[in-house]
Chains A and B, each alone.
Chain A
Amino acid sequence: MTQPTATPEARRRPTDAAADDVTSLGRADSRAVRRRSLRLLGDLLRHHKPALAWAALLVVASTLGQVAGPWLVAVAIDRAVPAFADGSVTPLVLTGAGYLVAAVLGGVAAGAYVRAAARIAQAVLLDLRRRVFRQTQRLSLEFHESYTSGRIISRQTSDLEALRELLDGGLTGVVSSLLLMVFTFVSLALLDWRSGVVLAVAFVPAWLLTRWFQRMSQRYYREQRTASARLIVKFVETMTGMRAVQAFRREPTTEAEYRALGEDYRDANLQIFGVNGRFQPGLILIGNLTVVAALGVGGWRVLEGTLAVGVLAAVLLYCKRFFQPVQQLGMFYNAFQSATAALEKVSGLLAEEPTVVEPTNPVPLPQGSARGELRLEHVVFRYGDGPVVLPGLDLTIPAGQTVAVVGTTGAGKSTVAKLVTRFYDATEGAVRLDGIDVRDLASADLRRAVVMVTQEAYLFSGSVRENIALGRPGATQDEIEAAARAVGAHEFVLDMPDGYDTDVNKRGGRVSAGQRQLLSFARAFLADPAVLVLDEATSSLDMPGERLVQRGLQTLLADRTAIIIAHRLSTVAIADRVLVMEHGRVVEDGAPADLIAGDGRYAQLHAAWQDSLV
């Protein structure tokens, strides 16, 4: 038996996952990626403009409340105390009441801001989480075969966490800081324009330092996001494959690999802390030196007699105050860099276009539901730019026919299944259901009409009931039990601790592979589609189980179209028609009895299979 010249499933398209890991991008790329992520951020915040304005207002109110305190103290000391001494109570009462009002208003505004910011942050996060989740479901299988699940998980977890930090804490600082800085600078410039110039000059090194920080931290945050994604991918993979890791004593190797990735992540974090750790004291140094400069220049002018001492005192105070919020700005900028680096990754995932596209003007099925006639017209298929798997297949399956497809691994059987179920689209030619190109059918219609059961019977955590009900949400308990009975799963389910309410645990831990296949069969029974595709769906069943499923199948398939792909010819026995495939072509096609009577490939296969039986 010859092996296929190339294994289609192993071919991959040049993947975006690779681009995903690049940290030092070219200038143009870097800008494009950044623009894409900022666009996403803008888009996410667009719906929250009123809330954002409200939050900004609360910040301003809380800042004013903060500033009002010292000012009122000054007023009290300068005016109210002398007035009180003179017997006038009003100014003191007024300032006291003013202080009280400012305290309460400012405090309430500060608290309200925390809540408002959290509301915005959580709404944005929910929105983004849904977008990523929907996108993950929308993308074609082709994409999932190259973009590891760990990466998607890291997009959904640690990347979104970075955004959350920006939205939660970052905004508080930036509004009040900018406000204070502008206010301080204007006051200073009005008070003494020469000192204003000194402060403006200090801007130059501060700006240069910020540029340096921006450049470095952008790169390091990218590295950090990539390192964190790699760490997550490795972790998810190791935990998912823990049985194999332990059985083959790979713990030391995986530990070493994980350690190396952990060290990369640690180094990325160190670099970020390092950049931050120089940026922040750098700004403080510039601020302090500005005060020194202002003191030197101003003091000289005072001694020359061209500047009043009172003015200098105020100038120095303003200079000192001007640089205080800069630190908060730095922190905001930090959170911002981290979030945009994360958003770069997330927006990259969101920008992926599925290769299997939902039609813009879907064609409805006549009579609302499918009859189940399938036609493959000159179908050519290749995975990405890999070798041709199906060189040109013409096939018609009338509604209600049960077709078995046999052939060696890699002959293209599974590819036919994936095309009929539209997991992939044909490279050339068309696949038609009841005469309608499957590419023109709404996904909901297609999925209702065509259902596939694969060898890999995945169970989700949750109860047995929920897992079967996946076939048809909203099914009644009776319907679920009937489906389970039909495939012979009912009894073992009843034997489980809580029957249908038994939790199947992580990845169906306590259910054997055969039982898992029975449950996924029950799912398909419940879904009740017009076309059922079984791709090696009975491989792990034992003989009695298989016999039962076959019995069930005979009833089930009586009035619907079915494509059965199986290595076990026992499953093939119930078929009306057998196709033997080789190298992507149908080499034999006929009723099972006719083919067995001949001397072709199927007759040989059948003889070999008969020999293997008892």
Chain B
Amino acid sequence: MGVMPPTDERSNRSEPSSASLSTVASIRRLHPYVRTALPRLAGGLLASLGAGLMALAIPRVLQWVTDGPLTAGAREHDWSGLAWSVVLVAVLGVGEAGLILLRRTLVMFPGTRVEAAMRMALFRHLQDLPVAFHDRWPGGQLLSRIMGDLGLLRRWLVFGILQLVVSLVTIVVGVGLLVATGGWLGIIFLCGAIPVTVLAFRFSRKYRTISRLSQDQSGDLATTVEESVHGIRVLKAFGRGPDALDQFTEQAAELRETEIRKATTDAGLTTALRVIPEVTQAVALVVGAVLVARGEMTLGALVAFFATTAVINGPVVDLGMTLSMTLNARTAVDRFFEVMETVNPLTDPDRPADLAPVTPGRVSDTAGHVAFRDVTFRYDDADRPVLDHVDLELPPGTTTALVGLTGSGKSTLAMLPPRLFDVTAGRVEVDGVDVRAMTRAQVRERVAVAFEDPTLFSASVRDNVLLGVSDELPDAEREALLAESLDVAQAHFVADLPDGADTRIGEEGMSLSGGQRQRLALARAIAARPRVLVLDDPLSALDVATEEAVTARLRDVLSSTTTLVIAHRPSTVALADRVAVLQDGRVTAVGTHQELLASDPHYRYIISSLEEDYAAHADPGPSTDTATDPATDTAPEDRATQEALS
């Protein structure tokens, strides 16, 4: 176990384009999501600047009243001056609070709504992306994007961006004022600003790399957590909890190191942002004092200079924080768009085939006709095709068993009619139409699948079984479908569950036994009432008696459905009218069970349980080396020799 090293991960994942974008360009990609929120954000910014002005105005009024009416004080008894200033301060004070309230109210909606909209967009895109994508991307990486990264972005939109703009405006205006009015002192201060700017840029480059690493590492950590929970039975059965903990600790410690490196970088900037301006101010203080003493500068100007630097110092120090927040947000944006910009290779055609609509949930009047024509399929990252020029017809209403050795490509073949994967070459037709000419919804309305690995959802048994049944169907019909499909699948245990068909079954159906889950998955495929049904070893976890009962009922139900059933044993083959043998990625024989038994040695080898066949087929010697050979896809020459022998 373990996660893939992050470097490998990223190399096949990240869009090289995001890394090369400038932070502004990267964040500008948010435009479609924030467009509607921009007026509010702008309003928030104005309110924020207004509040800042009012905050600055209050000390001026206080200064005026203490210097003016109050200093005149006891002599003049200027009650009205005092009263006016009290009223003015009150108005400004209430105004400041009001504007801050306004700012926060304006900003909170865009922040949360943009986050929610982006989350939905990502979720929709993930659901649209094909199975191949999900096989490649670990769940934790996706989770850390949709929760962690988008949460970061929300906080940046609500706090970070306004803070950044306000800080920058304050600094620019402040420095401008200093240079314009401060003479020599202003120039000294400006000299200090140069290293600060250079450092800030260098910091952003370095910080961005670390921030990216840290966000990727937390995604990997989430993946490990996810696997340790999903694989808890294995870890417990082998007592490997402590090893898993060690591995997790190692990964978590790596993340800690990255985070500390990130903090160290941040600390460097914080130090620089504090020390450099303050040191220039120390120099300015001495120079200023000399200038004042020489009479080249007034005392008032010196005081004004320091009053202004005091206003700038706060935002400069804050700048470190808001800058790192912005860079983190930028990384989050990059990670978001990496997934969003993944092109879906398996899309709906621009002009889908014009097909008669399928009546939802009813027994289809016509069974589908499926044809594999010269189908080749290769996984993106594999060098050899799994399916190599496969030709196979499934006439309407027939049930065909697909038989082949483990790893011969049976399950891959089964994924092609419902377009869970698309062929590399050749085509798959349903009722004479290339499945790629249909939308995925159209195909999947016609083709239902029961997987070897039954996935149940955290929902009631009813919802799980009726997953492929239209919600528009009247309740009575839905109930009838439910009852029938549970009956066919021999899932009578449902009646004994605490709430019958309303019982919620847990995540991945974990609280049910393997056989129970498999029967529900089978019932689900039956309830969908498709024209074409693909069953991937649907009875493997059933006991002999139940299997027999299911088989008997299933044969009736399947009479009006074209069925492809992946079979590992004779009892499953018994469901079928005919058998297709898949060997080394090709269909090598098609016929009835009896015909093939008589004519096809490979079929006999696969399906027969008799030791004599086995012995006839392979060297029966106890040496595991030779004994294991025929069970797997060995080189074709080997196979040929074996078959020649038999």
- Contacting A153 at CB < 8 Å: which of B123, B222, B289? B222
Interface string of A119-147 (1 = CB under 8 A from B): 10111011001100110111001001110
B460 to chain A, nearest CB (A): 12
- B108 contacts across to A, CB distance below 8 A: 270, 273-274, 277
- Contacting A243 at CB < 8 Å: which of B268, B420, B506, B608? B420
Contact yes or no, B510 A145, CB < 8 A? yes
CA distance A506 to B219 in the complex (A): 14
- Contacting B93 at CB < 8 Å: which of A157, A292, A460, A552? A292
- Interface stretch, picked from A187-195, A293-301, A365-373, A590-598, is A293-301
B511 to chain A, nearest CB (A): 5
CA distance A270 to B646 in the complex (A): 74
CA distance A295 to B549 in the complex (A): 91
- B252 contacts across to A, CB distance below 8 A: 125-126, 129-130
Name which residue of chain A comes closest to B618, CB basis.
Answer: A544
CB under 8 Å from chain B, chain A span 250-284: 250-251, 253-255, 258-259, 262-263, 265-266, 269-270, 273-274, 276-278, 280-282, 284
- Interface stretch, picked from B182-190, B201-209, B230-238, is B230-238
Contact yes or no, B225 A92, CB < 8 A? no
Contact yes or no, B138 A461, CB < 8 A? yes
Is B274 an interface residue when CB atoms closer than 8 A count as contact? yes
CA distance A411 to B95 in the complex (A): 75
- B154 contacts across to A, CB distance below 8 A: 269
A288 to chain B, nearest CB (A): 3
Is B418 an interface residue when CB atoms closer than 8 A count as contact? yes
- Contacting B310 at CB < 8 Å: which of A70, A471, A612? A70
- B634 contacts across to A, CB distance below 8 A: 491
Name which residue of chain A comes closest to B1, CB basis.
Answer: A460
Name which residue of chain A comes closest to B453, CB basis.
Answer: A513
Is A57 an interface residue when CB atoms closer than 8 A count as contact? no
Contact yes or no, A148 B233, CB < 8 A? no
Is A118 an interface residue when CB atoms closer than 8 A count as contact? yes
Contact yes or no, B1 A447, CB < 8 A? no
Is B640 an interface residue when CB atoms closer than 8 A count as contact? no
Classify the interface of chain B: helix, strand, loop or mixed. helix
CA distance A412 to B506 in the complex (A): 21
A137-B244, A486-B624 known; A247+B420 contact, CB < 8 A: yes
- Contacting B608 at CB < 8 Å: which of A289, A447, A490, A614? A614
Is B77 an interface residue when CB atoms closer than 8 A count as contact? yes
Contact yes or no, A536 B541, CB < 8 A? yes
- B356 contacts across to A, CB distance below 8 A: none
B386 to chain A, nearest CB (A): 9
- A233 contacts across to B, CB distance below 8 A: 458, 507
Is A304 an interface residue when CB atoms closer than 8 A count as contact? yes
- B593 contacts across to A, CB distance below 8 A: 614
Is A99 an interface residue when CB atoms closer than 8 A count as contact? yes
Name which residue of chain A comes closest to B317, CB basis.
Answer: A110
CA distance A262 to B59 in the complex (A): 45
- B11 contacts across to A, CB distance below 8 A: none
B324 to chain A, nearest CB (A): 10
A126-B256, A514-B406 known; A247+B225 contact, CB < 8 A: no
Interface bracket on B: 35 or more
Is A156 an interface residue when CB atoms closer than 8 A count as contact? yes
Contact yes or no, B293 A84, CB < 8 A? yes
Contact yes or no, B543 A466, CB < 8 A? no
Interface string of B295-307 (1 = CB under 8 A from A): 0000100110010
- B229 contacts across to A, CB distance below 8 A: 136, 144, 149, 152-153
A200 to chain B, nearest CB (A): 19
- Contacting B515 at CB < 8 Å: which of A158, A289, A409? A409
A192 to chain B, nearest CB (A): 14
CA distance A457 to B497 in the complex (A): 26
Contact yes or no, B512 A9, CB < 8 A? yes
A250-B467, A409-B543, A451-B237 known; A100+B279 contact, CB < 8 A: yes
Name which residue of chain A comes closest to B74, CB basis.
Answer: A305
A491-B631, A569-B544, A613-B570 known; A242+B131 contact, CB < 8 A: yes
CA distance A5 to B493 in the complex (A): 8
Is B96 an interface residue when CB atoms closer than 8 A count as contact? yes
Is A430 an interface residue when CB atoms closer than 8 A count as contact? no
- B66 contacts across to A, CB distance below 8 A: 309, 312-313, 316
- A409 contacts across to B, CB distance below 8 A: 493, 513, 515-516, 542-543, 546
- B253 contacts across to A, CB distance below 8 A: 126
Contact yes or no, B115 A466, CB < 8 A? no
Contact yes or no, A262 B506, CB < 8 A? no
CA distance A231 to B123 in the complex (A): 11
CA distance A103 to B260 in the complex (A): 25
A10-B512, A305-B73 known; A236+B270 contact, CB < 8 A: no
Interface string of B275-317 (1 = CB under 8 A from A): 1001101110110011011000001001100100010010001
- Contacting A513 at CB < 8 Å: which of B143, B404, B537? B537
A303-B73, A409-B515, A492-B407 known; A506+B101 contact, CB < 8 A: no
Is A542 an interface residue when CB atoms closer than 8 A count as contact? yes
Is A174 an interface residue when CB atoms closer than 8 A count as contact? no
CA distance A457 to B283 in the complex (A): 71
A144-B229, A150-B507 known; A485+B94 contact, CB < 8 A: no
Name which residue of chain A comes closest to B604, CB basis.
Answer: A614
- A552 contacts across to B, CB distance below 8 A: 624
- Interface stretch, picked from A31-39, A44-52, A72-80, A211-219, is A72-80
CA distance A570 to B515 in the complex (A): 18
Is B10 an interface residue when CB atoms closer than 8 A count as contact? no
CA distance A406 to B445 in the complex (A): 39
A107-B271, A291-B58 known; A240+B139 contact, CB < 8 A: yes
- A421 contacts across to B, CB distance below 8 A: 237
Contact yes or no, A95 B285, CB < 8 A? yes
Is B503 an interface residue when CB atoms closer than 8 A count as contact? yes
- Contacting B233 at CB < 8 Å: which of A276, A454, A605? A454
- Contacting A470 at CB < 8 Å: which of B1, B242, B496? B1
CB under 8 Å from chain B, chain A span 374-414: 406-410, 414
- B135 contacts across to A, CB distance below 8 A: 505-507, 509-510
CB under 8 Å from chain A, chain B span 617-646: 624-625, 627-634
Is B373 an interface residue when CB atoms closer than 8 A count as contact? no
Contact yes or no, A288 B93, CB < 8 A? yes
CA distance A451 to B510 in the complex (A): 20
- B471 contacts across to A, CB distance below 8 A: 253
- Contacting B275 at CB < 8 Å: which of A108, A126, A262, A288? A108
Is A175 an interface residue when CB atoms closer than 8 A count as contact? no
CA distance A390 to B242 in the complex (A): 32
Interface string of A454-474 (1 = CB under 8 A from B): 111111111000110011010
Contact yes or no, A542 B101, CB < 8 A? no
Contact yes or no, A282 B97, CB < 8 A? yes
- Interface stretch, picked from B30-38, B81-89, B172-180, B390-398, is B81-89
Contact yes or no, B627 A299, CB < 8 A? no
Contact yes or no, A414 B96, CB < 8 A? no
CA distance A520 to B237 in the complex (A): 11
- A491 contacts across to B, CB distance below 8 A: 628-629, 631-634
Is A178 an interface residue when CB atoms closer than 8 A count as contact? no
A292-B89, A567-B547 known; A240+B234 contact, CB < 8 A: no
CB under 8 Å from chain A, chain B span 408-440: 410-411, 418, 420, 440
Contact yes or no, A614 B609, CB < 8 A? yes
B14 to chain A, nearest CB (A): 18
CB under 8 Å from chain A, chain B span 566-594: 568-571, 574, 593
A243-B131, A460-B2 known; A291+B282 contact, CB < 8 A: no
Is B243 an interface residue when CB atoms closer than 8 A count as contact? yes
- B112 contacts across to A, CB distance below 8 A: 266, 269-270, 273
4 closest A-B pairs by beta carbon, nearest first, are: A447-B239, A288-B93, A118-B263, A460-B1
What are 6 A-B pairs with beta-carbon distances under 8 A?
A: A69-B278, A136-B228, A137-B235, A281-B97, A289-B94, A292-B90
Given pairs A99-B278, A111-B268, A249-B468, 6 additional interface contacts (CB within 8 A): A9-B516, A150-B507, A273-B112, A505-B136, A506-B135, A612-B544
